[in-house]
Structure 1
């Protein structure tokens, strides 16, 4: 059988795979992308984008509780058609997916192999009856929701993941959310806002990926009026016409559906990596050098959700482009990652930039930590928003900004600003010289920066300290 030689094979046409293709195509036309479909990327089809459309509808409906205080009458007569909400989410989702597929048209007929690919022992890549021999391969096969063994058999069509939640014709009345990481927290709160009775289960002390213990208590307090959160492991034990019985040590509850949000696992099974002698270890990627996307002494490049980095879109795009760049040149893919930046679009929002609590905890003697609360800030009060707090981590000896954790309204914007500052290796004194407009959430940021700088071994000129003080106006409405 004829074996077609390739410069680069790309397995997967998601965010990372498409990003890799764009770089490979600049160097060589002798490549193929292998993917059986469906196309459109996980982000557009079932993750980032449709979930945010769903959250937006839920948030706008939930805002009705603030209308009376704002002088807007009639909120008690508002209702929501959750079937139409889901239909609109699918409409938006389909438009986004179509845009991604449209972007493939220029090369799809010539370079896409719409089949699953797997390696054979001699390094040949097989796609049904066709055989290929690539010099380098980018593996960007994405990930799938983790489902505990036996749960599918017990739950049947009452099992939901973020991949299929939006396919429901309407929302159920009672949902158990198992796993309160970013996905479980976002979707659980949105379901609660839309009138679903939500019970969340997660035995981990952290929720939403947040590590800082001071902020975790605030987050739990902010979420408690809207959804029940139980810090226990629960499992389905029975399903009948009344629903699913979820049981944990000390209790049980009956729900209509179970949304499993226990993370995602790389789609590496069935690729034939074992035939090549590649062992990624029990937890995956154990032998990857830091900042490298290919295994040493191989031309196998892993990117996106199937790679060693965080499963975040901008990271997947970066990894795909870098893997494609180096694969096309047959070189090791070594690079420096961007400043870490993570967000959860619950309310209050969670955002983490730079180094995190768990990476700094062992160095507390060298770290200055300052904080400020949003609870009584003018902008928070004017918006009738959740309160929250901001924690800044800095190097005590120099005042250099290292990281931040935020639980606050619109935390995404402050987190971006701080991530940029960390990338520039800014210090707190320099950041405090920047202007702050009134009334904005950035006024709280300035207080947190000031509180952190006060704990650093850095002298501040009297004039600069004076300029960084709060203006003599009631921008903190709790102060009177």
Structure 2
């Protein structure tokens, strides 16, 4: 009944606005004529009109504010508009709440959990920030906040206070305009009006500065700041993000301490990128050796010495270690400490080392604590045992039958490698296909190769339980056709990663986490605690080594020089590669992403089987696919499937980063015969598809005429 009454009232008001020509009440002429005769009535009408316009979210509140200042002056104009805008905003808030809140929360409650919690915890300050810094239009704030768990009276008084400063600036501008006899250059150049325009221009910046100052003081008021600091920057974690952060600090002559409790280089060097690529290399050699006889090179039966393969993997780690070693970074000017760090307050870290405990202070802290593999709590999993991408490198004896849970990039890379080394591999994933983030044509290419190599792919399936029966490890797999039992010798869990957020004092600072358990950072990579930044896997997002290093630049520069200039982290052009065979390279949007975001695109594709170098190398498979703005050569994204895809992506990454289109790639000389020519050929395909047909028809007639 309440909803019906509100809808009926709204309908009546809208009808009245139409009947009585409400447009006239939004012009200065109406009020100027009435004000000289009946100022009180004019004020009352203006007040009601402003309330209705705000309540119904009718565009033009800024214009009405200027009109109010011009008609009533700064004092009375500010009084009328301040209360009218707050009352109107509250009415819009209440209408949204009564009409839509229950439906929205019921339907989208899971997605609004973080916002709801934030509003419940600190709703008044959150709303005050939005009111003081109008990043979002006020009418949107009125409507959205009606869906949030904030009290109406709180909404009213915070809106009244929060909008007051901005309203005063606009009313003052209107009052100055109202003093002009006519709009002229000389009139505009008066100090009062110029001052008003300056206030309008700088108000958002001033408000943002004040809000940031207040937020910082609120967050830090519970802690005692040291008078002096041991370091300019202290970095926790010596993976890619931590190493680059400390390197940049040392290069800019800042005093920096880097703390790592395990091994320098983090996951990438010790358990991730380096060892995985080493085993992929060994597996590729075995696969190529088996196929060498097709071109007349007979190497006989391929015998894989798995123990030797694993030795070569660890040898690769050892060879790369000096690049990330303590010795190298201390030589660069970084103070490296091996130990466990605990953040005590925003400037102080306690470090437990083999020699005892020590405490260091720093002006800023960067958290680069990384992540770890997820493990699903499936019944019986501890009984049969499992490996992850972290512990896999402990294997000494090659398993005859390997079960891989998860068909993302990590699972696919490891599964294919073990299969090529001679292990029988079964992959299980609940998704309908492998490589769930890729387009269908990409998945088709990689899936076909996996099946050709004899891998057993069980997509659309999930592990139900594990058990050790008569000395054999068994898994019950839930499939669309019913449960199926698989016997295996070893299992790899490759179902994603999660952030390391425990054990180093985040709770001491009440640093906020997002809904997935990652450290929550702003666009400058600063956490909810001022002066404490975070980068890499610990903040989620793109969990790649090169992205961690990219984020480290922003975090370290903002930490060291943020008092002068801050930089927003730029994720506009992020490349990545999956090192299966064929490789998959990506940058920007693919078709799946573009469709999900509603972005219009044009697809241009070149089949690598047409490329001379690919043909003679026996790599005539895959494609280069580019998404562009329809009718233009601007690149929205590129996907490459085939040999060396990760290397071939560099040209598209460079082009996108510097705003170069396909015409520039087409006009660039590429060496022949190379795989890189595929990029030029796809640009040529785009050019043919977008050739100016009408112009070509005219040119054709010209050629015909010239032949006589």
The TM-score bracket by the shorter chain reads 0.7 to 0.9
Query: What CA distance in whole angstroms lies between the structure 2 residues aligned with 1:459 and 1:334?
Result: 44
Mapped pair 1:78 → 2:78: no
Q: Report the alpha carbon displacement of residue 223 of structure 1 after superposing the two structures with TM.
A: 1.5
In structure 1, the partner of 2:235 is 10
- Match runs of 1:116-265 below 5 Å: 116-120=340-344, 124-128=348-352, 129-149=357-377, 154-155=382-383, 158-205=385-432, 207-208=434-435, 210-226=437-453, 227-231=455-459, 232-240=461-469, 242-249=471-478, 250=482, 251-265=484-498
Per the alignment, do residues 235 and 155 of structure 1 end up closer, same or farther by CA in structure 2, a change over 3 Å counting? Answer: farther
In structure 1, the partner of 2:534 is 302
Q: Report the alpha carbon displacement of residue 69 of structure 1 after superposing the two structures with TM.
A: 1.9
Mapped pair 1:69 → 2:294: yes
In structure 2, the partner of 1:48 is 273
**What SS is found at the alignment partner of 2:628?**
strand
Query: What CA distance in whole angstroms lies between the structure 2 residues aligned with 1:152 and 1:386?
Result: 45
Query: What CA distance in whole angstroms lies between the structure 2 residues aligned with 1:151 and 1:135?
Result: 47
**What SS is found at the alignment partner of 2:652?**
helix
Query: What CA distance in whole angstroms lies between the structure 2 residues aligned with 1:97 and 1:152?
Result: 37
Query: What CA distance in whole angstroms lies between the structure 1 residues aligned with 2:432 and 2:347?
Result: 45
In structure 2, the partner of 1:269 is 502
**What SS is found at the alignment partner of 2:468?**
strand
Query: What CA distance in whole angstroms lies between the structure 2 residues aligned with 1:435 and 1:448?
Result: 14
Q: Report the alpha carbon displacement of residue 295 of structure 1 after superposing the two structures with TM.
A: 2.8
Per the alignment, do residues 246 and 132 of structure 1 end up closer, same or farther by CA in structure 2, a change over 3 Å counting? Answer: same
Q: TM-score, normalised by structure 1?
A: 0.86
**What SS is found at the alignment partner of 2:649?**
helix
Mapped pair 1:334 → 2:568: yes
In structure 2, the partner of 1:318 is 550
Mapped pair 1:393 → 2:627: yes
Q: Aligned pair count?
A: 460
Equivalent pair of 1:292/1:335 in contact (CA under 8 Å): yes
Moved more, 215-224 or 30-39: 30-39
Moved more, 77-86 or 111-120: 111-120
Moved more, 94-103 or 388-397: 94-103
Query: What CA distance in whole angstroms lies between the structure 2 residues aligned with 1:170 and 1:151?
Result: 26
Runs of 4+ in 1 over 6 A off after TM superposition: 457-461
**What SS is found at the alignment partner of 1:346?**
coil
Q: Whose Rg is larger? A: 2
Q: Report the alpha carbon displacement of residue 107 of structure 1 after superposing the two structures with TM.
A: 7.2
Structure that is richer in strand per residue: 1
Q: Report the alpha carbon displacement of residue 419 of structure 1 after superposing the two structures with TM.
A: 1.2
Equivalent pair of 1:210/1:350 in contact (CA under 8 Å): no
Q: Report the alpha carbon displacement of residue 151 of structure 1 after superposing the two structures with TM.
A: 6.9
Q: TM-score, normalised by structure 2?
A: 0.60
Which one of the candidate residues 658, 683, 706 is aligned to 1:424? 658
Runs of 5+ unmatched residues, structure 1 = 467-480
Query: What CA distance in whole angstroms lies between the structure 2 residues aligned with 1:100 and 1:205?
Result: 40
How large is the Cα RMSD of the aligned pairs? 3.0
Which one of the candidate residues 101, 104, 112 is aligned to 2:329? 104
Moved more, 269-278 or 404-413: 269-278
Runs of 5+ unmatched residues, structure 2 = 1-225, 701-708
